[in-house]
A and B are shown apart, each in its own frame.
Chain A
């Protein structure tokens, strides 16, 4: 079966750096997305990786290793507003988007 694993919850301190990992096992691979979802709101797109390596976008960076079935989202200079759930989603060989359960990130002052 297809599976995406990410930690359920993480806690970090304002101003610090946090890395949220995502491992996946899918039938084929056509890209990986990271989304941010605040409580009670819809997800918003953060990043897309289809080739190995690091994609940087401001305070957020996303890394992909296809051979390891692994990605991470790196958040720098954490702000209180970064408290949210972060969803990893993989597009499989049939271009179906498979969603992880999300990682709830709690930022403490």
Chain B
């Protein structure tokens, strides 16, 4: 149980393109979804937290107009990287939880999206 599907797994595109990444919880309802980015050999960096039906909460330093997050349902959240540039190239990972970050429920992670901007 607790499967999170993230799509696409790999994107290569030209600078200036907008890229949408989908994160779906397949067998549970995700009250909260989290978006991370990870650079090589570094730890996870939380970008934003989204609760279904409300606006995402962005971490300090993350541009909300650059990284658009929509959590339209209890099973789907999307991250759109608008007008992507080479410095946005990274490994983006979503995770989902059945609680709003409380309790002993872990975050369940998608397989990640490797984004390369040329």
Chain A, interface SS category: loop
Task: Please give, as numbers and ranges, the residues of chain A lying within 8 Å of B34 by CB-CB distance.
Answer: 97
Q: A31-B104, A48-B106, A95-B101 are in contact. Are A87 and B112 (CB under 8 A)?
A: no
Question: Which one of B40-48, B61-69, B74-82 is at the interface?
Answer: B40-48
**Contact mask A29-70 → B, CB, 8 Å, 1/0?**
011010000001111110010100000000000000000000
| A48–B43 CB distance below 8 A | no
Total interface residues on B, CB under 8 Å, equals 21
Total interface residues on A, CB under 8 Å, equals 20
| B101–A42 CB distance below 8 A | no
Task: Please give, as numbers and ranges, the residues of chain A lying within 8 Å of B95 by CB-CB distance.
Answer: 42
| A45–B101 CB distance below 8 A | no
| A43–B101 CB distance below 8 A | no
Which of A48, A96, A100 makes the CB contact (< 8 A) with B104?
A48
Task: With both chains docked as a complex, state the minimum distance between the C-beta of B12 and any C-beta of chain A, in angstroms.
Answer: 15
Task: Please give, as numbers and ranges, the residues of chain A lying within 8 Å of B6 by CB-CB distance.
Answer: 42
